[in-house]
Amino acid sequence: MEGKVIIVTGGASGIGRSVCLELALKKCKVVVADINYDQCLETIEMMKKAEPSSEGFAVLCDISKSDQVTNMMSETIKRFERVDGAVNNAGILGSMGRIGDYDEAMFTKMLNINVMGTFLCIKSQVQQMEKQGPSNYSIVNISSIAGILGFPYNSGYSAVKHAILGLTKSTAAEYGCMGIRCNSVLPGASDTPMLQQYIPTDEARAQLIGHTPLRRLSQPNEIAKSVVYLLSNDSSFVTGQSLVVDGGLSII
């Protein structure tokens, strides 16, 4: 993977940051995109510490804004002249509540960021890859086990993560002839700031761990390694698939 140009959205923290660090170790050229620009710069610094020869730059991007997604790709091409892969990771958890009580404005916000934002990113990526011509490209979308299960008290999150699986399969079917693979990674409970937002108490955390067959949370780098596998040629005949990385949580 050395020298491959990879865009990572949501690269300022959590799983996205861990993906950037793993790619740095592989000596990829990494575009770290997020709405939190200062934290993107922190990710770049961490990449340099992990692999001094790593290349990358930060770009401010709200993925729900078409012009910002276009700028993200323009900056990538300006700096690295091509794109070989992408990790569409940016998204929000939303608020909690039963469907009958769920805030409509929040549901719309989740659709705009998690679904429309992912769509805009994929659209930009496949357009650029088509311009470059057939090659070995890979796009990885971050969904969740909420995309294959009902997710009580956050129907918005479940809905958008289901939608990402549909986008993944459609992209794989439409662009396989261009050498573009597209897959999803479905994390379970990973020890990230987003999980801490959803499960703020030690009691709730212990209960979740108790329902996970491996009896622990995943670390973000464990999810990141699965993402890197799908970006690499080790998965060269894998497309349109959903890789569940959840410690067995979804089988219970």
**249, 213 in Cβ contact below 8 A?**
yes
Q: Is 198 annotated as catalytic?
A: no
Tokens of 174: 């439409």
DSSP state of 217: P
User: Would the CA dihedral through 38, 65, 18, 55 be positive or negative?
Assistant: negative
Residue type, 10: G
What angle separates helix 155-175 from helix 117-132, to the nearest 10 degrees?
A: 10
Q: Is 73 exposed, middle or buried (0-12, 13-18, 19+ CB in 10 A)?
A: buried
**Is 142 in a helix, a strand, or coil?**
strand
| Choice among 102, 157, 198, 229 that is catalytic | 157
Annotated catalytic residues are 157
